[in-house]
Chains A and B, each alone.
Chain A
Amino acid sequence: MRAPLAFAWRSLVRQPARAALAILGVAAVGALLLDMLLLSEGLVLSMRELLDRMGFDIRVTAVEALPGSGPDLTDAPAAAAAIAALPGVRAVRTIRSEGVELWTDTVHSGGIFLGVGGEPAQLWTILRGRDLAAGPELVISEYAADLLHLEPGDTVTVRASCDGGPEAPPPATFRVAGIVELPFDTPDAVTAGTTLASLEAACGVTGGIADFLAVASTGDADAAAARIRAARPDLRVFTNDEMIGLVQQGGFTYFRQISTVLTAVTVSFALLLITVLLTVSVNQRLAEVAALRALGFSRRRVVLDVLCESALIIGLGGALSLPLGLLLASWLDTILKRMPAIPAQIHFFVLEPQALAAHAALLAATALVAAVYPMQIVARLPIAATLRNEVIS
């Protein structure tokens, strides 16, 4: 195998311009192919990583909908207490979100007010300052801090607008404990987080309502989810895997389908062009191939030379396509993340071994299939007639 490879390499090096252009072309197509493979699962993988990172593996909602998108849980404290008492459950958090108006002396803005019940209530990552302590304190997102010119220790006036509460509850003053990063926050979200008790106080209501419960199991999420379903059959229980399933049923399938279409187009494009390049190249070297056959090269050997040439072009282009593809993915990710309501920590392109394996397999198949027609030309080449034609011409 080394001899045909070396021979194919010499054929490529003899025509450096065309070889370099062919390799560059494969690199560009390969980069696009890699990106489409990364895109097909990227959003789902990124979502899964984010869900896992939050430390909860079960969500409990009132209906079969993504947390926050369906109706509220109406007996959240009782449900949380019942679930916390179940074996296999390590912790339960009650999550409630409401609309809020925040203002300082100079700036005013609307946003989301998040109340978290349960101890410890660390749904966020502290960037500056500290976490919530006793009293009317809140943490805010980085964007909200910039917009409202707030730093840890400052005070902010809050007016919450809550389900089941008075239409215009009196404004309340909160102290900013810290600036935080929330896992599903969008880059331009004005989000404030506090304890559930403080949120309910700001709303002027007593406890009871929540968007959903976040549950951490002791290890076996499926078993814990089954116990919760048995204890509270009126509620909907989702493990992280089931949440991903719900997400996949939603609008995110668009990117998978567009990536499937573009993968098919890209592979067809590469196949067509490599076939044309190899065919033209072989047709230009028919006399040379015939001479080699006359000198004693076997039919199998010259066919193998063509296959090796195809493999070299696609192999070198494919290797070059990896860094190119990652750069391109980073650019495309930046473009797509400007879509409204996309959390800052979600990525559309996620590098994973399966995508790399699929990329290598598709390129290898392309190299093989693209070489079939030129190999046929070489295999069926009449030696004497070709040499005679060459001499006459």
Chain B
Amino acid sequence: MRLGRVPRKVRLHLPDMLALTGDPLTPPGTETVGTINVALADPADARAFAADVNTRTPGVFAGRAIRPGSNGTFVVLERFHLAIAIVTIVAATVFLLALSIMLVDERRGTVGVLRLIGLPSRRILLQVLLEGLLIAGAGAAFGLALAFVSEGLINRFFQWRYDTALVFVAVTSRVAALCVAIAVPLGAAAIVTASWALLRRGALRLARR
């Protein structure tokens, strides 16, 4: 049987497990364990407690456990992926801004005419914001759909590669919400920023008259 091949888990009370797996020739109370986990009333005392145990009980080594949020393998990998995500967001933002500038520039004539017929800059900006929200929302939805599809592909590949049932990529509702929360305001902000630079110019100049 390979570890993780079948995703099933059974939890037992320790006495029940010892009854199932223990050697009947071993006298009760002399079984060995690999590790004893200790929860302290004050976690800040961990170092002093470990030093005390080490001094009192030769042959036993006590040490501070890795705390959640510390430097465990998965925590480090999470930080690594977060760092890559940040770089990707920066790159995407820069591209988005470039694209927004081009798209807004393309409509400078239309915006100039709207200004000339009396629409205030704020009204046009609101329209641009709504348009940006719609586009960013549609883009985020497409991105999520792509993520759901690639989630299955990536998991299948790594499960095949490592012969395991472990899940490598999980698009949870929290992750999806975070992506939407970043993507939609970012997309809308890029379009509004690009438009704001354009709207500061005079209406006649925009309409090229």
Contacts and interface: CB of A to CB of B under 8 A. Distances in A.
A21 B59 CA distance: 63
Nearest to B90: A28
Interface in B50-84: 51, 54-55, 58-59, 61, 63, 66, 71-73, 76-77, 79-80, 83-84
Given A338-B71, A339-B76, A32 B91 contact: yes
Contacts of B84: 32, 262, 332
B176 interface: no
Given A168-B58, A261-B154, 9 more contacts: A17-B98, A18-B101, A25-B91, A101-B58, A277-B99, A281-B102, A284-B102, A338-B76, A339-B73
A297 to B, nearest CB: 23
List 5 tightest A-B contacts by C-beta distance, closest first.
A21-B98, A28-B91, A110-B61, A25-B95, A25-B94
Contacts of A331: 83
Contacts of B61: 99, 101, 110
A189 to B, nearest CB: 12
B54 A101 contact: yes
A22 interface: yes
Interface string B104-126: 01100000000000000000000
A280 B103 contact: yes
B158 interface: yes
Contacts of B73: 339-340
Contacts of B105: 18, 284
Interface of A: 17-18, 21-22, 24-25, 28-29, 31-32, 99, 101, 103, 107-110, 159, 161, 167-168, 253, 257, 261-262, 269, 273, 276-277, 280-281, 284, 328, 331-332, 335-336, 338-340
A32 B95 contact: no
A273 B76 CA distance: 31
B54 A17 contact: no
B192 interface: no
Given A25-B94, A110-B63, A284-B105, A336 B76 contact: yes
Contacts of A262: 84
Contacts of B91: 25, 28-29, 32, 269
Contacts of A281: 102
Contacts of A110: 54, 61, 63
Contacts of B87: 28, 31-32, 328
B54 A18 contact: no
20 contacts: A17-B98, A17-B101, A18-B102, A21-B94, A21-B95, A21-B97, A24-B94, A28-B87, A101-B58, A101-B61, A103-B55, A107-B51, A280-B106, A281-B102, A332-B84, A335-B76, A335-B79, A338-B71, A340-B66, A340-B71
B8 interface: no
- Quick one: which of B61, B87, B88 has the most chain A CB within 10 A? B87
Contact of A25 (B54, B98, B158): B98
Interface in B146-166: 154, 158, 161
- Quick one: which of B91, B97, B158, B161 has the most chain A CB within 10 A? B91
Contacts of A339: 71, 73, 76-77
